Amino acid sequence: MYVEGKAKIRKGKAFLNPRAKFLRDVSVAFVACNASRGSRILDATAGTGIRGIRYYLETKSKKVTMLDMNRSAFRSVVDNVLANKVKADVAFTSIQEFTNTTKGNFDFIDVDPFGGIGPYVYDIMKVVRDGTFLMLTSTDGAVLCGAHPSACMKIYGSVPMHNELCQEAGIRIMINFVAGIAAQFNFGVEVLLSIWDAHYLRVFLRLRHGSNAALSSLKKTGYLHYCRKCGFRSWETGFVAKEYKCSECGSGMETAGKLWLGNMYDKEEVKRLLSYLKEKQGSSKELELINDEYDVPFFYSIPVMTKRMRSMSVSPYKVVERLREKGYQATKTQFDPSGVKTNADIGKIKECIT
């Protein structure tokens, strides 16, 4: 028996990762902070049913639907729903079949599959409305983060980045993918929270209906240009990538994209979630780091920079302190314990390293 939150789960033959508790805690907080009693929740990849059961037991909503097309997982969901005395709809079906046959739409849709979200986003768009919240997880980090670039191009339509920036670039590729499909249904996306946790890439989005919203989202996508020789990077919005020479050293630059270049967090939403988790659990160091993070595209890995500069190692905390003393915005980042996000250019960062 595995106990998490108010749920008591018999694992059976379905997969349940205790390591993902943090992401489930944040997801429950997200639904609890945004749901009403009449909110409809779809847990489209239920597994053991732990997420859907926790949504029912720990939030206001009592309208939860859980799906799974794996027979062992479906049996596990049914057993756990009954054991926890949850009155939820449980269906042995695929996301595609369900969204093609169901009536109405959902206020929250959670997709946490084994692998990536690629096969599912188009279909879940059939059961959304203006204001629907999407909670999406990809575990295909090797694809999104550039270990298998051809697979990323095939599935997500983007060229990935395989360097110290790959995790953040991977989540930005993921958001770009969702924004592109949402636009086909005349929806734009608002990014409320993005989390990199081990091999999980998790995003929390809100859909806004209308052509202006869709176009506004697409205008926040573009390309990252990166110099492997000196570490300089730049980014540009737009539908077509330009060719650039590095303005620091004149070398050719690698290009990744398309990817999302808008915000990765809504600070007010993060503060609400942090307040909720502090009340329930006492603290959340991971969300505190995100709450403090300067929300600008891409960070600088201090060890990577010191190696290129052939300089002595320096604490990223010291670099942050020195940048702030010079009047720049600077924080740590969730994507790399040795990374720094700042509005200073690379020259100023190098001054703060030496």
Domain range summary for the chain, segments of one domain joined by +: 2-270, 271-353
Instruction: Note the pLDDT tens digit of each residue in 79-127.
Output: 999 999 999 999 999 999 999 999 899 999 999 998 999 999 999 999 9
By the 8 A CB rule, do 176 and 148 touch?
Answer: no
pLDDT for res 284: 85
Gap between the Cα atoms of 65 and 83, Å rounded: 17
CA–CA–CA angle 30, 35, 37 (5° rounding): 145
Q: Of 57, 62, 49, which Cα lies nearest the Cα of 90?
A: 49
* pLDDT for 213 beyond 90: yes
Domain 271-353: give its CATH code. Answer: 3.30.56.70
* 242 three-class SS: coil
pTM comes to 0.95
Pairing of strands 336-342, 300-301: antiparallel
What is the distance between the alpha carbons of residues 274 and 272, in angstroms, rounded to a whole number?
5
Which residues are bridge partners to 352 per DSSP?
none
pLDDT confidence band for 240 (50 / 70 / 90) = confident
Q: How many CB atoms lie within 10 A of CB 104?
A: 7
**What percentage of the chain reaches a pLDDT higher than 90?**
91
Q: Widest CA span of the chain, in angstroms? A: 65
Above 80 in pLDDT, residue 283?
no
Radius of gyration for the chain, computed over Cα atoms and rounded to the nearest angstrom: 21
pLDDT at 322: 97
The tens digit of pLDDT for each residue in 289-333 reads 999 999 999 999 999 999 999 999 999 999 999 999 999 999 999
CATH homologous superfamily of 2-270: Vaccinia Virus protein VP39 (3.40.50.150)
Contacts of residue 320, Cβ cutoff 8 Å, sequence gap at least 6: 330, 331, 332, 340, 342
At 14 the pLDDT is 83
| Mean pLDDT, residues 129-154 | 96
